[in-house]
Structure formats: C-alpha cells, structure tokens
Chain A
C-alpha cells in the first residue's frame, strides 16, 4: 500500500460499475473542487482540469491555440533531467532510423520526411531548463504527423523543469497551421510565471 501514500488530497473521482452479464461498463466523472478554477500561467488564464494527487492538469483554449500543461513533482534535479532526457530521446527516436536505448537488438525504422520531422530545441539557464520539439499533429492531436493529408496542427511538445519548485511541467501546444503565435508562446514559457 506504499503507493497510496503518494496520492493524497485528490479530487473526488467517482467510479460506477455496472455489471450486466459478462459486461462491465465503467462510468466515471470528475467532481471538480468547487467551481472552475483559473490560474494565470505563462500569462495565460489556464483552467485547472484535474487535480490528481501530486499532479495538476491545466488547459487553455482560444480560437487559435490549445495549451495543455501537466505538472509532476520530482525529488532531485538528476531525476528530473534523466526523466526529461529519456522522454524526449524516446520521442525523437520515433522519427529516426535507429533507436538508441535499451534493449537493443532490434531497431524501429520509420521514414518521416525531413520537413515534417519534429525539430528539437533547448533553452537552459543555470536553474531551469526547457526542452521541446516543434512539429505537427493530426486531427486527433497526436504528435508526429508526417504527411500533408494528416497534418492539422502545428505542435509543440516540451518539458520545462523548474529547479526552485522541483517540478516538471509537460507542455503540449497546438495551433492552426497558418498561425504565427508559437514563437510568442515559447517566449512566455518561464518558471517565474509558471506555478
């Protein structure tokens, strides 16, 4: 039961089970804490979507942008960097002909045209780090769309690590293909205006 200790102060999650013969149907709903809570992050009025244990989920939507944030606390800088490096290298490897991480006899080979491959960027300071990919997503907001007929959004996937709060913020940003707002959003991603 040691895992349970990490999941305190959660919003009420109601799960109903209906057993109908051999079929189990799961229905659930999230009962938010009071009313919808808005929090200013990176200069955007984010809505708290869920507050699940140690993690918060935030969402901001306007006519041109969808921004989703997820926060995960960590115990050490080393763990944070190892997690982010692993996460991003795995993501990148989807678009590369060779994989580099364990276990290695096999490699996944997927051909994505160069122009659609997500491009990697890093902004590091002595305290904080932002690593992200800029690429494209499909209609279902799945990253890594690699052909004209599938591409619907410009997409950013990133990880911001704020050392002062020892928090990883997973960032997903979707915007229309004609939009020029991505650079402005990136400029706003700062730990000082985070959480």
Chain B
C-alpha cells in the first residue's frame, strides 16, 4: 500500500531545525524590533559587485579590511547567510530588483537576451511587458511618489538589462562615456546626490552600483600605495589610475582571456595556491580602497539630516571565486560566488541584529516594501524578511540558483550543485562552508531527491516565463 504522506514538510522542517538549533542569534521578543515600519522613509541601495560575505568583517570576522562598512552598519540588521540566485551580475540583479525567482529570471533571459556582440542586452521591445508584469523596486516606489535615481557603473544593473525602468534620473554606463564613468566618479556622484537630497523634503530611492571590486583586470588609483609583486602588471591608462593585470605566465594570459567560471583543473595545486594568495591580496587591496570610498559616503549621510528617515542597504549581487574550488573569478554556484553580504541600517534599529537564518537575496525588496508599507506586486517570489527579523521564521522551503555553468538548490544547509555536464556535487554547508567535501556518492538518494525538486522547479518557472512572453 502506497504511503501517501506529504513528507516534504518533514523534510523541510527537519532541515530547518538543523539550520536554526543552537546557532540562531536572532533577537527575539525585542520590543524595539517589533515595529520596523518606516512609512515614507528614503531608501538607499548600495549594490556592490563581487563582494564576498566572508570579506566583510562585520559578517564574518576573517579579514579586518572593512572598518568603514563595519562601523556604519554595526547597529543594523546583519544577515549572516544570504544566497544570491546567481554568481553573475545580470541574472542576480534582475531577480533581486524585481524580487522574482532565479529559474524564472534565467528562463526569461534565455528567451529574450541578445547575446550577440555588440548587443549584449535585453531588447527594448520587452520594456512595456516587463514594466507591466515584473516591476522593479524603482518602478514600484516611483509610483508611490518616490524620486528615483540610479547611479550605475555596471552594465548588468542598467538599461542593458532594462533595469533603468522607474528611475527619474539614470546615470549609467555609456551615458558619459565608459572611460569617464569610473567607480570613483560614481561614488562622488553619490555624495553629491545625497547632499542634494538632504535639501529637499521629497522622499527618494537611490540605487548606487559601483564596480570597484571588478575582477581582473581592474582599475586602481595611481596615487595610492599598492602591492609590489613582479607578477602584477600595472598599466597606466590615464594619469589618475592604473589598470592592473596579473597571471601573465607561460601557462596563459589568464587575466585577459580566462573566462569567468571555468575551473582551472589544469593548474597544479601549488600553482593554484600561489595564485590564490596573490589574487586575495589584490582583492583585499581593492576592497580596502572601496571601503574607504564608502566611508566618505557614510560620512556624508551621517553629517546630513537623512539618517533618521532613511533605510540604507548594502548588498552584493554576487561574490568571487578567488581560486576557491579552483574558480578564479565567478559565475558558478559555489558559496564563494553566491554567498553575499546583506546589511540593512534602519532608523528604528539601534543595536546589532544578527540573523543567521539562511535567506535569499530576492527577499530584500519585499522586505523594503513591507517596511515602507507599500503593497507587494503580484509578480514577486521574494518573501518579506520582516517576520524573520522579528521572530526568526522564514517560509521558503528551498533556495534555487542558476548560472550558465551550474545550478544549485539548497534545503536548509544541504546544497546540491548540478553542472551543465551533469556532474552533481552535494555539500553540507553547516560543516563544510567552503564546499570541500562532495557528499554526492555517499547520499545518492538525497541527490536524486534534490535534483527532482530542482528540475521540477525549473520546469515550472520556465513554463511561467514562456506564458508571460507568449502573452506579450
């Protein structure tokens, strides 16, 4: 006799238990936390590229190179385990700003995105459809009377992804010439914008995206101290900055040509370790710079009258491999690429609220909607984290992510990665956060179960995306 039982609840609940017992530090029964409403508050999103959660000292005290971020967000809502839906910018940002599912976003892009040089973009013919069915936070808040500004040094957060929707002012890539729109200018522009906003009483939403942590080659101010290593090539592009390359070795000009997500299996372990050390040093150098630059923005905010009426969010759309799991850059499902920081400074929060519950970055925007008392659009898949902040509850049974190289599904702390060549890797993030021990051969049934959930989810979301496009 067939046992008919909806075991999924058991499955989820037990994993949930694994995730929350002992470790949860969510502050419960805190009356100060009970009210997170912030009607008509301003909202500032500081969207970082390539910022790994484990490099923000406030989140995981590994590297003491983010003093300004740590200080500004010390008395904030600090999410310790946030997954982005992708290890690449375009996918992650679309899903995050529209608060929609990763598989759905991937399917939409797969059907619409123009990937033929020089057209890397979503065709404008989809603008109306997306606006009416998949509004971004900028569109929603703009409709609520917010002044909206996008200061964007990133291709994949801008109009190329139709993410300029809803912005009254859009200052992005190519708008002022790519050589002029360097990250430092975005940050300067941010300071100016904040100072200007202070003088008006209009509520505003400001989205800032800097690509300072861009992977190699990257730009670095010429006047600043930097790592001296014969393997690093500093190419002076303009009087005020260097473009930095490295890895120019007989094994290949990796910095210039190596793809974002390929595993470097051909390198020896010792060579990988050597490059990892160098790569991390360069990343740290760059992060130190961006932290200092962010510090200037934080000072501007603190010196203004905005702090008491502004929700300030710092998040990253994805991380970077830095040679973990033999991934030099990003664009895959490993934690190095999808575990991202999420810090929310809220006017009513005056102590650190550390949330260890595993959450998804697509939950950010619904959380802001609830704080602002804005109605949620029908399209969204994100879940407001206000309840999670208050009492630790979270209603998402699993988290899904997808890149062109791999997909992942996470139930509690168990994570299955499926590569395009159908290789499957299973990790217990609780005990193996760096995904070193593949458990797939030990637990084939669990792999099959998670794979079934993943594929059925993908098919559902693909169906949803095609239905939307067919109704165009």
Check B466 against A78 for contact (C-beta < 8 Å). Answer: yes
Q: Find chain A residues with CB under 8 A from B391 CB.
A: none
Supply 25 A–B pairs (Cβ within 8 Å), ascending by A: A3-B398, A7-B6, A7-B8, A8-B6, A11-B3, A19-B22, A22-B431, A28-B446, A53-B452, A54-B456, A57-B448, A74-B459, A75-B459, A75-B463, A79-B463, A82-B110, A82-B466, A86-B110, A90-B420, A103-B91, A105-B120, A106-B260, A143-B422, A143-B423, A157-B422
Of B13-21, B189-197, B222-230, which stretch is located at the interface? B13-21
Check A106 against B8 for contact (C-beta < 8 Å). Answer: no
Taking the complex as formed, is B270 at the interface, i.e. its CB lies under 8 A from any CB of chain A? no
Most chain B beta-carbon contacts within 10 A, residue among A17, A26, A103: A103
A: interface residue count bin? 35 or more
A70 to B110, CA, bound (A): 24
The proximity string for B residues 3-32 relative to A, scoring 1 for CB distances below 8 Å and 0 otherwise, is 111111111101101100110000000000
Taking A11-B3, A13-B7, A26-B18 as contacts, is the C-beta distance between A142 and B421 under 8 angstroms?
yes
Taking the complex as formed, is B317 at the interface, i.e. its CB lies under 8 A from any CB of chain A? no
Q: A13, A52, A99, A109: which contacts B404 (Cβ < 8 A)? A: A99
Q: B110, B331, B423, B460: which contacts A6 (Cβ < 8 A)? A: B460
A24 to B451, CA, bound (A): 22
**Min CB–CB distance B318 → chain A (angstroms):** 12
The proximity string for A residues 143-154 relative to B, scoring 1 for CB distances below 8 Å and 0 otherwise, is 110000000000
The proximity string for B residues 262-275 relative to A, scoring 1 for CB distances below 8 Å and 0 otherwise, is 10000000000000
Check A53 against B456 for contact (C-beta < 8 Å). Answer: yes
Taking A91-B421, A103-B109, A142-B423 as contacts, is the C-beta distance between A17 and B18 under 8 angstroms?
yes
Q: Find chain B residues with CB under 8 A from A103 CB.
A: 88-91, 109, 113, 115, 120, 156, 404
Check B18 against A19 for contact (C-beta < 8 Å). Answer: yes
Check B431 against A24 for contact (C-beta < 8 Å). Answer: yes
Taking the complex as formed, is A181 at the interface, i.e. its CB lies under 8 A from any CB of chain B? no
A23 to B259, CA, bound (A): 36
Check B3 against A70 for contact (C-beta < 8 Å). Answer: no
**Closest A residue, CB atoms, query B467:** A76
Taking the complex as formed, is B395 at the interface, i.e. its CB lies under 8 A from any CB of chain A? yes
Check B448 against A10 for contact (C-beta < 8 Å). Answer: no
Taking the complex as formed, is A107 at the interface, i.e. its CB lies under 8 A from any CB of chain B? yes
**Interfacial residues, chain A to chain B (CB-CB below 8 A):** 1, 3-4, 6-13, 15-17, 19, 22-26, 28-31, 33-34, 49-50, 52-55, 57, 70, 72-76, 78-79, 82-83, 86, 90-91, 93-94, 99-110, 140, 142-144, 157, 168, 170, 172
Check B259 against A109 for contact (C-beta < 8 Å). Answer: yes
A83 to B110, CA, bound (A): 10
Taking A23-B431, A106-B259 as contacts, is the C-beta distance between A13 and B120 under 8 angstroms?
no
Check B115 against A79 for contact (C-beta < 8 Å). Answer: no
Check A102 against B5 for contact (C-beta < 8 Å). Answer: no
